[in-house]
Amino acid sequence: MERYAGRVALVTGASSGIGAAIAQALLRRGLKVVGLARRVDMVKENALELKDAPGTLYPLQGDVSSEEGILCAFKWIKENLGGVDVLINNAGICRESLPSTGQTAEWKRILDVNVLGLSICTREAVQSMLDRGVDDGFIIHISSIFGHIMPLDPLYSMYHASKHAVKTLLEGLRKDLVARKSKIRCGEISPGLVKTELFHALKKNTLEVLENMRMPIMESEDIADAVIYMLSQPPRVQVCDIILRPTGDLLN
Ligand code: NDP
């Protein structure tokens, strides 16, 4: 992990939940963390308690559903910090939408953020690493247990589909990097339920329902710990996937 102290990490979706926890964990380990989100004030607020951490936070307003927005962010990073050494593709949204009645605009929104935004950020980060001869860069996708199992509820089909796409894109990226003889590493973290704002956008009060069902649930810091584990492995080890489920998980 020491190798990344002083290096530049871009964390997308750093304004809340898992992304905020990852940004904090990286700041504690001395990285320069670019925290990208639309609600940039929340990125700043979340890091206030970490004033004494050795790392430096660069809050950056940006929307990963817009290619132009992503390119602007990478341009800013290149001009101000040199480039991206570690990319954490965390920004993601979940919406309820049945395959039989769902709105096309809603499906596009999920795919724009969870799949295309992640892909554009990945491409730009890899190019930034290759341009600067950075051979120990790292790309981590925050996927989901739903990238590994089939939908339990058809309402979340497009969200599941987006996370299955993340898994496929990761393996494509790994093979692409191997073919280039690059030592840049990539991996994904696949969490089960985590208590975050992700549920706030859902029409049903899903979080309350889950809590009433006494559904076990993890905290964002648990996922940040897995990111640190992945980054801490020696260069010869590439942890490709970490599946984290709450103990006693009731989901099949
Ligand atoms: P939150 O809703 O708390 O966080 C989502 C983050 O993504 C926010 O910081 C939000 O920032 C950002 N985001 C959303 N849309 C955009 C956009 N267009 N551009 C830039 N940033 C955006 O949820 P989580 O922390 O739970 O979600 C983080 C990741 O974890 C997601 O990829 C999610 O799929 C995944 N995950 C979550 C699980 C859970 O149970 N919570 C389980 C498994 C995976 P802002 O709105 O300020 O732009």
User: Is residue 9 within 8 Å of 37, Cβ to Cβ?
Assistant: no
For ligand 1, whether the C-beta of 92 sits within 6 Å is yes
- The residue to mutate among 34, 61, 93, 122, having the most atoms of ligand 1 within 8 angstroms of its beta carbon, is 93
Q: Respond yes or no: is residue 159 known to be catalytic.
A: yes
For ligand 1, whether the C-beta of 190 sits within 6 Å is no
Tokens describing residue 167: 């898994």
Residue closest to 34 by CA, chosen among 96, 68, 2, 79: 79
SS (H, E, C) the chain: CHHHCCCEEEEECCCCHHHHHHHHHHHHCCCEEEEEECCHHHHHHHHHCCCCCCCEEEEEECCCCCHHHHHHHHHHHHHHHCCCCEEEECCCCCCCCCCCCCCHHHHHHHHHHHHHHHHHHHHHHHHHHHHCCCCCCEEEEECCHHHCCCCCCHHHHHHHHHHHHHHHHHHHHHHHHHHCCCCCEEEEEEECCECCHHHHHCCCCHHHHHHHCCCCCECHHHHHHHHHHHHHCCCCCCCCEEEECCCCCCCC
Rounded CA-CA distance 105/57 in Å is: 34
- The pLDDT value recorded for residue 204 is 64
- The pLDDT value recorded for residue 51 is 81
For ligand 1, whether the C-beta of 26 sits within 6 Å is no
Tokens describing residue 86: 């570690």
Please give the torsion angle defined by the CA atoms of residues 43, 45, 49 and 50, in that order, rounded to the nearest 10 degrees: 30
Ordered mean pLDDT values, 10 residues apiece, the chain (252 residues): 95 97 97 98 87 94 98 98 98 96 97 98 98 98 96 93 98 98 98 93 76 89 98 98 95 74
- The pLDDT value recorded for residue 52 is 87
For ligand 1, whether the C-beta of 116 sits within 6 Å is no
Residue 2: how many other CB atoms lie within 10 Å: 8
Residue 133: how many other CB atoms lie within 10 Å: 6
Output the CA 238–ligand 1 centroid distance in Å: 25
Catalytic residue among 4, 58, 159, 229: 159
- The pLDDT value recorded for residue 206 is 76
User: Is residue 10 within 8 Å of 121, Cβ to Cβ?
Assistant: yes
Q: Whose CA is nearest to atom 36 of ligand 1?
A: 144
Tokens describing residue 165: 């796409």
Which atom of ligand 1 is nearest to 143's Cα?
44
